Amino acid sequence: MGVGVGLLLQIPDHPLPILIGFALMMAGLFTAQAVGGGVSGQGGSGVSGSYVAAFYLGGTLAGLVYPPFLHTPPLASLALALGVTALAFGLAVRATQGLAPGSTG
* Residue range 6-60, pLDDT digits in tens: 999 998 889 999 999 999 999 998 998 888 888 888 888 888 888 888 888 988 9
Q: Could you give the number of structural domains in the chain? A: 1
Residue 68 lies in a domain: yes
Residue 56 lies in a domain: yes
Residue 57 lies in a domain: yes
Residue 34 lies in a domain: yes
The mean pLDDT value for 54-74 works out to 86
Q: Which residues contact 25 (CB under 8 A, 6 or more apart)?
A: 2, 3, 6, 7, 10
Which domain range does residue 55 map to?
Answer: 18-38+46-98
Residue 7 lies in a domain: no
Reduced 3-state DSSP string for the chain: CHHHHHHHHCCCCCHHHHHHHHHHHHHHHHHHHHHHHHHHHHCCHHHHHHHHHHHHHHHHHHHHHCHHHCCCCHHHHHHHHHHHHHHHHHHHHHHHCCCCCCCCC
Residue 13 lies in a domain: no
Nearest to 13 by CA among 105, 90, 78, 102: 78
Residue 84 lies in a domain: yes
**pLDDT at position 103:** 55
The mean pLDDT value for 94-101 works out to 70
Residue 63 lies in a domain: yes
